[in-house]
Structure 1
Amino acid sequence: MRTAIPAQSAAAVSGRVGRRGAMMIDVPGSVESASGAAESALARDDTPLGVQARWALDLLTGVRPVSQETLAGHFVSAFLDKHPQGFPAVLDAWRDQGPFRLAETRLVAHKGWLTLEGPTGTRHALSVIIDSTGLIRILQMQPETVVPEVHSWADVDEALRIPGVDSSFLAARIERGRRTVLHELAAERPMPTGSAYKLYVMRALVHAVDHGELGWDDEVVIRPELRSLPTGDMQDLADGTRVTVRETARKMIAMSDNTAADLIADRLGRDAVERAVRASGHHDPSLLSPFLASREVFELGWGDPVLRKVWTEGDESARRRLLGQLARPLTVRSSDLGPTVHQLGLDWRMSAYDVCEVLTALAQDSARDATGTVESILTEYPGIAIDSEIWAGAIFKGGSCPGVMMFCWLLEDHEGVRHVLVLQQASDEQRLIGDGLLLRGIGARVIDSGLLGGAKRTAG
């Protein structure tokens, strides 16, 4: 990685938002005075996410009712379709918990979180996620997830100690090709990882480009049998739509687009991705054989139970034959996803060390790519706000599925030293995993604490 990520402030800001959004005269130095600063900062953010986050905040303070025409101009249709009683009814329930004080703002690329404090001191997280067109794909308000402070590795262990949840953690420094483990917790345990599998698809793609088998300007074509479920938005494109490999790969990594990943994996072939698993140092490649596409996990996990039985009882050969029968459009919808299925081998199992290996390999791919394409794709979305004074660049990938959550980073400081952080969780019950804000927050705490290194490198 050669170019620095622009600085993005993650500092908390406090402020007060009236029910009608009225301007308040604040006393300098008071909590109220920070309200104007927070609103001003949001007002200056003209990125697509900043614009939508500002509008979403206004939804909680503006005049009722909001017309369907107005909502349709800000949301993807799939979001409004999820609220059969109408989204205004949901919005009214949210407003009734106000007026709110804006306690914190975190906006990173296409994902943002606004922490709002109600009149009784109860805090809520307003999540805003936009798609590649700038429309809101997810808007959700829920109780704030409190992330413990992290000042030591013991704090990390304690934060990850959750009854009913298996956790894995690895923090490592890589300098002059030598890896030094800073801290680990069950880091050798194979864990389901959700979308982290896309790191292997990316490695297979880079290999194909390096060997002239595929070009960044080549195209993939949307076909019904390759359309997956969100995350992402490529599943919404019309059949026959042609998208460059470069743009598809960008969406696969930066937006974790499942359809994008399936399109690239199909273009490369399952064997090519499985070779990438082996070449990337996975400790037991048989855990990812056959290598599943996202739509195959959805179909087997929450579709026909007969097919699921064949999968669970079959050996590798039987499973490969079964996957050959799934070359057809999905019958499963997002609303069908329910019980956890990672216990059935319907996921992608990697240890924290496996994740470290593939991240390191991708960083090497990026350094070798003279065009900068690989670096641009890998570093577009850093997952959290990254301090560019400490870190020259960051590769990030998250992953989730019912009962599964993981986040990983490879950060490079200005001396060229790499630091890897991997956090993984798995449970038989999705409610114990939550929406990922806790695990993401722990990762951010570790990075901000200086425990990893960078300019704040600690002794030992």
Structure 2
Amino acid sequence: MPQTSRLASGRSAWRRALALSAATTLIVTSAPGCAPSPSPQANAANSGRQIDTRTPPGIRAQQTLDMLNSDWPIGPVGVGTLAAADKVESVQTTMEALWWDRPFALDGVDIGASVATLHLTSSYGARQDIRIHTDDGGWVDRFDLDTRAPTVKSWQDIDAVLSKTGARYSYQVAKVDDGHCNPVAGTNARESLPLASIFKLYVLHALAGAIKNGTVSWDDQLTVTDKSRAVGSSGLALPAGPTSRFARPPRR
């Protein structure tokens, strides 16, 4: 009987080991198929550098980088897990503006007593430093952004900087002499490209003319629509409906 008992016990242990081995193999082989693959943006921002997260500033630096490189928009709930309560709004405003330029590559990080400075490069090549200060509770109570201006000493430097952005661009610099416009420098000057923000100047110019001509009044109500609020401007927080001045758009 003792021998039979030991044999049964040995078989039972062997079965448990086999089952555990099979389960482990199943988990290992199934995990890659179940886990989502890293997004191209995350891959693009991965420079192989690591942030030491053994201190509160290091933890907040890593959290900041993760939030900026995430596809989830920046919002008060997420920022509320990062910043002190009275700093959520200001930190959110800064991070929202940065988020559109993702992914960010980590060039380096400096960590000191209650402070960490992230050295980042945006998707279009801008070099930016984010200085994060934490309070006694480990919450971010200062969040400062500094964009390092590129070194430009020649027209060639301008092309070098612009080409790093990966964007299509064109420009021309000219000198007006005796009423004649003489080109001095430029790239792709014959290529016509849309100039996004300059359209605002056209609208403002037309609006000024309409007011001068009396077709628009300062007392007109501005109708804000959901469509006009969906153009990516984080600063347009007005509700839809007639809430401000100038309801009628200027006619050109």
TM-score (norm 2): 0.41
Q: Which has the higher contact order (CA 8 A, sep 6+)?
A: 1
**Larger Rg belongs to:** 2
